[in-house]
Amino acid sequence: MWRMPLEGAPHERTWMAFPREGYTLGASSTQRAAGYEAWTSVAHAVALFEPVTMVVDPSEADRARRMLGSGIEIVEAPLDEFWMRDVGPTFVVDDDRTGVLGAVDWVFNGWGAPDWAEWQLSAAIARLVATHVGAEVVGSGMVNEGGGIHVDGEGTVLLTETVQLDPRRNPQLDRSGVEAEMARTLGARHAVWLSRGLTRDYDEFGTRGHVDIVATFPSPGRLLVHEQPDAGHPDHAVMRDLRKALASETDAAGRALEVIDLPGPATLRDGEGFVDWSYVNHLVVNDGVIACGFGEESADARARSILAEAYPGREVVTVDARELFARGGGVHCITQQQPRVGTTA
């Protein structure tokens, strides 16, 4: 039976995809340079803790080798979108077959086939990655992205109604259909459904509710949840309502979920509107946590402290994520962990 481990379980490596020129990266040379540097900074931070493999479009191979250096493995393959959490596979393990790694190949359609998105090349990346590591492909007919799910490794999955039930993603599925597919592919026996995501995520270029900027499991039975303290931001009300709903939820083991607030930074707006800056969008790595930073010393430090308590024994490293969020995501969105097979966590 396939099971997606908790993100904090031991990793074999982290996968990423290097940016390539196009709409997402930016129109000006300054914007493009900032994007390349943001992805590179995350890769170097992760590489302090575990191996990193980077999928690189052939058009960017020279730049990637120059910026990444010799310590990061490069796999060349055509791609258009480079949010590895969403275009890459979701890795699973088989508890009945020791040492067997699986790779769920969701259908990727650019977050609901918006007019601006290009995804046809990157839709093939999951199978390419699976082949590279010798993983069994777990095919799925459901449109889904890695940023739209979080698991506790013990049978609980976090989902969002406006993602998995999005008519532009899965018009044929209802809750029971989604839950059945999560059970088959991830080993999820219990789903915690959120009604929606953060406000900015419903703009034209958003994902319409990815959970990985809203809530995550640091360990079974516990949830780190985004908090927007400022009532002037629309997410203050959004998160108040979501937190109220979570207060009555249980996990697959029947435990009430312990909710831990993770306050966002003080900045409310950027040039496009209300921001969705969230410290929930971190990556757990071997012996560490790669946290988003937003240029606010006190808020970033507070987040590091909360994350250090939630992940005892791990070093928390902050990477400036403003250029990532300006393009639609954060540290978690551009990374995908490959679990070490044979572990029990």
Residue 17 lies in a domain: yes
pLDDT value of residue 126: 98
Domain interval for residue 163: 2-339
The per-residue DSSP string of 151-189 comes to E-SSSEEEEEHHHHT-TTT-TT--HHHHHHHHHHHH---
Residue 286 lies in a domain: yes
pLDDT of 245 higher than 80: yes
- DSSP, collapsed to helix, strand or coil, labels residue 119 as coil
Tens digits of residue pLDDT in 277-308: 999 999 999 999 999 999 999 999 999 999 99
pLDDT of 344 higher than 70: no
The pLDDT of 175-196, averaged and rounded, is 98
Q: Encoding tokens for residue 345?
A: 């966590």
Tens digits of residue pLDDT in 110-146: 999 998 888 999 999 999 999 999 999 999 999 999 9
292 is catalytic: no
Residue 35 lies in a domain: yes
Residue with tokens 């950027």: 270
pTM of the model as a whole = 0.97
pLDDT value of residue 73: 98
Tens digits of residue pLDDT in 48-62: 999 999 999 999 999
| Catalytic residue selected from 16, 55, 198, 333 | 333
Q: Which CATH number is 114's domain given?
A: 3.75.10.10
Q: What is the mean pLDDT of the chain?
A: 97
pLDDT of 93 higher than 80: yes
Total number of domains in the chain? 1
Backbone angles phi, psi at 201, to 5 degrees: -70, -5
Tens digits of residue pLDDT in 312-330: 999 999 999 999 999 999 9
pLDDT of 345 higher than 80: no
